[in-house]
Amino acid sequence: MKKEVMAAIAAALAIWFFVMGFELGIFKERRAQAKLAAQTTNPIIATSDFNVQLPTVTPTVPTAPGNNVTVPSTMPTIPGNDVTVAPSGKEISSLSTDEILTDVGNAINTLKQTPNFTALRKLQVVVKVVDCSVPSAIEKINEIITDVTSKAVPEETIVFTNGNAVNSKGEQLTPFSAVPPENNSFTLTSAGVASARAEKQGDNKVYFINLNPESTTAESPIPVHNAGSLGFLNIESLGLPSIVNITRANMNYPGSMMQVTLDKDGKLIHLRNYLPMTGDGEAKVMGLGGSAKFEGYLNEEWTIAY
């Protein structure tokens, strides 16, 4: 195989630590995260009617070199779920950040221990390589990414019965393993929060949380605040072939956002997580190295019925 082709493969593998994360299960956190000390949510009108046909999301990822992905500065709306925000209520609008985190944490952690409920889960993934050590390979790499992410963004209904469920891929799930943050309890504290507020929407309470920026490296791969609230890309869980040696893996989380809706009884009925990311990586395959930079985001939402 020509060296240029091998270099292109290495460049593609350098960003697969990002892409493969979606294919292998969207932000699988290590169970060891639960041992971290507690350190370290944007209004949606939820519905319990799971017969509603929501449109399938097809991410559009530009492939022309130089066209950067536009990362929204506010929580994007997944098509088919327009949001109308009711005026703030006085008593809930005065909640402190710590009080908001307590309400949200209790609701999420309670759901993680709830044996019976139904969840409609939607995902939108956008990823694009913006630079590469082999520029001629960028378009092909983006084609690969688009193919992978398009298969990794199912819209599915998950039914938990006695604490167990099977998703569309045949994977066994529990509420604790499936509800974000996956395989981890909600442990976000005010140290990881840039801003937080709450509003009343009918009988429901709606919480908005913006996280502080975080960055990770291959040597220090855990963004504590994201890991304890909505998840992160766990490089260690990717299972890349042994011939692939990741020599650099820098991830940047410039400001994740959460929207959490609780009903009048304090139960979680809607959750949306928005995780923008940028990164750069290097990999070696059979002695040949390559590098790449990417931009993108994940937009995930859960609608819960009991």
Alpha-carbon distance 193 to 225, whole Å? 8
In the numeric block, the tokens 């609230």 are attached to: 229
Task: List, in sequence order, every residue forming a beta bridge with 277; answer none if it has no partner.
Answer: 296
Specify the pLDDT at position 42: 32
What tokens were used for 174?
Answer: 């529990």
The count of other CB atoms within 10 Å of the CB of residue 94 is 11
Helix-helix angle 138-151:3-23, to 10 degrees: 20
Residues, the chain, total? 306
CB 246 within 8 A of CB 283: yes
Predicted local confidence at residue 81, as pLDDT: 43
Per the DSSP assignment, residues forming a β-bridge with 55 are: none
Give the per-residue pLDDT at 91.
Answer: 79
Please tell me the predicted confidence (pLDDT) of residue 16.
Answer: 65
Could you tell me the two tokens for 14?
């350098």
Query: Is the backbone of residue 90 left (phi > 0), alpha (psi -120 to 50) or beta?
Result: alpha
pTM, rounded to two decimals: 0.77
**Closest alpha carbon to 289 in 238, 242, 245, 240:** 245
Which 3-state string (H, E, C) describes the chain?
Answer: CCHHHHHHHHHHHHHHHHHHHHHCCCCCCCHHHHHCCCCCCCCCCCCCCCCCCCCCCCCCCCCCCCCCCCCCCCCCCCCCCCCCCCCCCHHHHCCCHHHHHHHHHHHHHHHHCCCCEEEEEEEEEEEEEEEECCHHHHHHHHHHHHHHHHHCCCCEEEEEECCEEECCCCCEECHHHHCCCCCCCCCCCHHHEEEEEEEEECCEEEEEEEECCEEECCCCCCCHHHHCCCCCCCHHHCCCCCCEEEEEEEEEECCCEEEEEECCCCCEEEEEEEEEEEEEEEEEECCEEEEEEEEEEEEEEEEEEC
- Paired sense of beta strands 244-253 and 268-285, if any: antiparallel
End-to-end CA distance of the chain: 56
Regions of the chain short of the pLDDT cut 70: 1-9, 11-90, 152-154, 234-240
**What amino acid occupies position 187?**
T
